[in-house]
Amino acid sequence: MATIVIIGGHGKVALRLAPLLVADGHRVLSWVRHDDQLEDVRATGAEAILADAETMGVEAMAAALAGADAVVWSAGAGGGDPARTYAVDRDAAIRSMQAAEQAGVRRYLMVSWAGSVPDLGVPADSSFFPYADAKLAADDHLRGTGLDWTILGPGTLTLDEPTGRIETGVGSGRPTSRANVALAVREALAQPATIRRFIPFADGAVPIAEAFAAL
């Protein structure tokens, strides 16, 4: 049994991921920002931890990560405010990576997006640019760490039912079920083939385990 910390535990992907990991026998610690989110997380079988990654420093994060085997970053500012987007999607994410290194947690999985590549293709005056820019900065920082990292890059997120089947190596415009993202995180954590890989993907025809084993 591994201890897995999900940062952003009340998000739509995280709430689908936690019960999968619990069902696999793992201890799951899901971080949330507000008291009124605790019960939703507990209903997944995870342990709900009140911990605001946006305001926590590296030392506090490292203390909270002590003893964990893996970290999943599934948090986000949700858009709208560029300053907060950079504060959460870039700065807090980078602090969590530094904290994982400090705490000795080697496995780190980032939920990013399929378009997180150097040529973003997003105009600087677009309302989406701060998110894309912040995610790329965080992803690039992660690549430079000594962590056993995986960056998953789903396409356009939907609330469709899970199929357990994906296509890797695709661009950012393809629909991708949040439920399939949760299944992909679960599989990536279990498959060494995903370590130190950026994996853009979308809903497709190949079973997730098979797609990741072929990387």
Q: Which domains does the chain have, with CATH numbers?
A: 3-213 (3.40.50.720)
Residue 78: predicted pLDDT:
81
50-100 tens-digit pLDDT: 999 999 999 999 999 999 999 999 999 887 799 999 999 999 999 999 999
Residue 123: predicted pLDDT:
85
What is d(CA 47, CA 151) in angstroms, rounded to the nearest whole number?
24
* Residue 93 near residue 181, CB atoms below 8 Å: no
Residue 125: predicted pLDDT:
86
Which helix (H) or strand (E) covers residue 169, if one does? Answer: none
* Residue 46 near residue 9, CB atoms below 8 Å: yes
What is d(CA 110, CA 197) in angstroms, rounded to the nearest whole number?
11
**Nearest-CA neighbor of 32 among 15, 52, 14, 12?**
52
Provide, rounded to the nearest whole percent, the portion of the chain with pLDDT above 70: 100
What is d(CA 193, CA 189) in angstroms, rounded to the nearest whole number?
10
The two structure tokens encoding residue 102: 């400090």
Find residue 156's DSSP bridge partners: 175
- DSSP string of 59-123? HHHHHHHTT-SEEEE-----SS-HHHHIIIIIIIHHHHHHHHHHHT--EEEEE--TT-SSS----
**Nearest-CA neighbor of 61 among 46, 76, 71?**
71
Global confidence as pTM? 0.96
Residue 122: predicted pLDDT:
85
Residue 149: predicted pLDDT:
98
Helix, strand, coil percentages for the chain (3-state, nearest 5) = 40, 25, 35
In the predicted model, residues of the chain with pLDDT beneath 50 are none
* Residue 23 near residue 46, CB atoms below 8 Å: no
Q: What is the DSSP letter of 198?
A: E
Residue 119: predicted pLDDT:
82
